[in-house]
């Protein structure tokens, strides 16, 4: 998905010299001593990137950390990673995530954020004490309890058990969290939740409170589905899969929100959503834009439920809107997709310790605040052992090893999928990694059977970016859907684990005089967000179809030449997919469709 994540839509990325190291830390001698140090790592005028580093300078391990500081009025955090950052007015608080809270003596961890304004932090506190390590409280917060186990599941109840947390002064009680909200406080290590709805999925975690009333990090989460609701296996959806990507950054310039899935009628016609994208940094999964993901407030008329967000509710943003969507359309399964064109550079490091990577991904997907939202994880590595935005040299086995580690960590009840190359050429990207061997660990592949040709070849020849089959004059042999699917089948991937990719956009050139494919051009045609690319909803009116080739459409209008799929060509591709025994189709991405969702409807009808 060559264009799929433009970081400039979210924040500036001007690489400026490291500036403004704030000397807030110095060594301390106490057994529980720790320091917090701030630096401004980038500054692009209208905003900046900041980084905090927490270091354990004592002789005993820290089980969790919380950094607090004040910004002057007009300066604020707009997005953050590797920590949960919240605020009350100008006072900001950052807490560790589930995977980076424990610090051995001498160890350190960093988290970062993007901010607006020109101010610097003041009044730093670390775990309630001084950030210079001279007054870190001796009473540490309790450790995380063990991940709960479920037993005695009925239509309306479930019994939970967990191993105890530890604390230097003793654990007083435990909060039981269901779908991120506290439902009970108990003194023991068991709890039975009652009054549940049959055939419904719930997610549970627990956190300990010590005698000083400090709460520690939440445990891992366990998913439980009550009985009485028929099949509960998310990996075997009834009928064919109709999956769409929802982009995190679409809530900005594109003004496309989860509610648009409802108003367009698309929500009733899809089976799955991939939420794109989580980032891959330092070999770990992490939330990319925290504001869009879980902080942005929605008014009543903007939200799926018709209820306005409040300033103090525990979850807002896209994640809360997706939760509301699932309540309205319980058949929809949602996966958190990591990587994409922009963020695939981190997978090489992740592959070096696949088990640690998988553990970090589970911590993000099953964060207690939104554990009920996601039914699985999608890995969009572009491309293992090959080149995309950057080149990877991790070896042909890396992708299989990563897939195996994810399945071992997430277990059999989660969906685990991957978006993969559609390069069916001899010696191409499909041949670079063990997609056949990895398939046993994955529920399906989203085969990116689009972006084969485009205006990165400035002078052409013009060619459809998503050809279903080959045709006379195709610029590169093997760059078709049929070739990619055939090659994957030959490598042992079952047909039912392959989804055909559809682009809800077109690619085009300008300076073209020839209507038929194969003409010369002078450059990329103008586009709303990027030259050479435009949404279907625009092209259907601005440059209507003038012909078809290889199962897809093209259009010549003035000096512009575009190729894109229409409801008619999608119908043909869905017939082909069914004849091939494929598991269904997926598309990139919702906001390219018309306001009444005509392309989603075409996929849905074609898969019947």
3-state secondary structure 254-309: CCCCHHHHHHCCHHHCCCEEEEEEEEEECCEEECCCHHHHHHCCCCCCCCCCCCCC
Residue 585 near residue 607 (C-beta atoms within 8 A): yes
Buried b (16+ CB within 10 A) or exposed e, 193-213: beebeeebbbbbbbbbbbeee
CA triple 562-566-567, angle to 5 deg: 175
Is the Cα torsion angle 250, 255, 257, 262 positive or negative in sign? negative
**557 vs 158, 372, 542, 569, 592, CA distance in Å?**
62, 48, 8, 19, 20
Q: What string of DSSP letters covers 203-246?
A: EEEEEEEETT--B------EEEE-SSSS---TTS-SS-EEEEEE
Please give the structure tokens belonging to residue 553: 């459409």
Strands (E), 23-157: 34-43, 47-56, 66-70, 76-81, 84-88, 91-95, 108-116, 122-126, 129-130, 149-151
Whether residue 101 contacts residue 91, with contact meaning beta carbons closer than 8 Å, is answered with no
Closest CA to 122 of 131, 114, 112, 113: 131
Q: Is 409 a catalytic residue?
A: no
What is the distance between the alpha carbons of residues 79 and 216, in angstroms, rounded to a whole number? 24
Would you call 337 helix, strand, or coil by DSSP? strand
How many separate helices (H) and strands (E) can be counted in the chain? Answer: 12, 32
Catalytic residue among 49, 248, 366, 382: 382
549 contacts 473 by C-beta, under 8 angstroms = no
Comparing CA positions, the residue from 206, 68, 83, 88 lying closest to residue 149 is 206
Catalytic residues: 382
């Amino acid at each position: 998905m060559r264009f799929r994540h433009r970081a400039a839509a979210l924040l500036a990325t001007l690489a400026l010299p490291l500036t403004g190291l704030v000397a807030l830390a110095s060594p301390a001698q106490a057994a529980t001593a720790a320091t917090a140090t701030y630096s401004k790592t980038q500054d692009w005028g209208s905003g900046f990137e900041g980084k905090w580093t927490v270091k354990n300078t004592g002789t005993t391990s820290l089980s969790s950390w919380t950094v607090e500081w004040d910004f002057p009025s007009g300066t604020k955090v707009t997005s953050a990673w590797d920590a949960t950052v919240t605020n009350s007015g100008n006072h900001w608080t950052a807490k560790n995530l589930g995977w980076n809270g424990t610090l051995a003596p001498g160890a350190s961890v960093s988290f970062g954020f993007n901010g607006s304004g020109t101010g610097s932090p003041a009044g730093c506190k670390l775990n309630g004490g001084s950030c210079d390590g001279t007054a870190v409280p001796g009473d540490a917060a309790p450790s995380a309890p063990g991940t709960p186990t479920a037993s005695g599941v009925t239509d309306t109840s479930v019994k939970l058990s967990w191993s105890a947390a530890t604390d230097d002064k003793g654990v007083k009680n435990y909060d039981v969290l269901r779908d991120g909200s506290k439902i009970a406080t108990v003194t023991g290590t068991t709890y039975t939740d009652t009054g549940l709805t049959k055939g419904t999925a719930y997610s549970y975690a627990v956190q300990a409170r010590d005698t000083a009333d400090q709460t520690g990090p939440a445990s891992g989460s366990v998913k439980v589905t009550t009985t009485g609701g028929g099949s509960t296996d998310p990996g075997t959806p009834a009928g064919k899969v109709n999956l769409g990507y929802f982009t995190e950054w679409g809530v900005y310039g594109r003004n496309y929100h989860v509610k648009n899935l409802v108003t367009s009628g698309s929500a009733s016609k899809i089976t799955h959503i991939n939420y794109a994208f989580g980032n891959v940094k330092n070999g770990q999964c992490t939330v990319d834009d925290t504001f869009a993901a879980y902080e942005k407030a929605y008014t009543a008329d903007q939200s799926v439920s018709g209820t306005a967000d409040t300033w103090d509710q525990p979850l807002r943003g896209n994640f809360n809107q997706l939760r509301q969507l699932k309540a309205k359309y319980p058949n929809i399964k949602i996966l958190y997709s990591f990587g994409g064109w922009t963020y695939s550079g981190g997978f090489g490091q992740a592959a070096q310790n696949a088990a640690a990577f998988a553990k970090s991904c589970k911590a993000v997907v099953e964060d207690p605040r939104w554990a009920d939202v996601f039914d699985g994880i999608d890995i969009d590595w572009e491309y293992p052992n090959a080149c995309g935005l950057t080149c990877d040299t991790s070896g042909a086995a890396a992708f299989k090893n990563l897939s195996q580690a994810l399945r071992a960590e997430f277990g059999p009840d989660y969906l685990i999928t991957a978006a993969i190359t559609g390069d069916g050429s001899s010696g191409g990207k499909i041949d670079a990694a063990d997609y056949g061997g990895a398939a046993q660990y994955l529920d399906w592949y989203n085969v990116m059977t689009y972006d084969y040709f485009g205006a990165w070849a400035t002078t052409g020849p013009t060619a459809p970016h998503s050809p279903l089959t080959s045709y006379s004059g195709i610029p590169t042999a093997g760059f078709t859907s049929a070739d990619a699917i055939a090659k994957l089948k030959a490598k042992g991937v079952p047909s039912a684990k392959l989804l055909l990719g559809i682009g809800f956009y077109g690619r085009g050139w300008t300076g073209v005089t020839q209507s038929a494919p194969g003409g010369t051009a002078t450059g990329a045609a103008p586009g709303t967000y990027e030259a050479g690319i435009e949404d279907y909803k625009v092209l259907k009116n601005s440059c209507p179809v003038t012909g078809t080739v290889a199962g897809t459409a093209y259009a010549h209008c003035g000096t512009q030449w575009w190729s894109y799929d229409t409801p008619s060509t999608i119908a043909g591709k869905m017939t082909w997919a069914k004849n091939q025994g494929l598991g269904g189709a997926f598309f990139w991405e919702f906001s390219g469709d018309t306001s009444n969702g005509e392309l989603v409807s075409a996929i849905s009808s074609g898969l019947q």
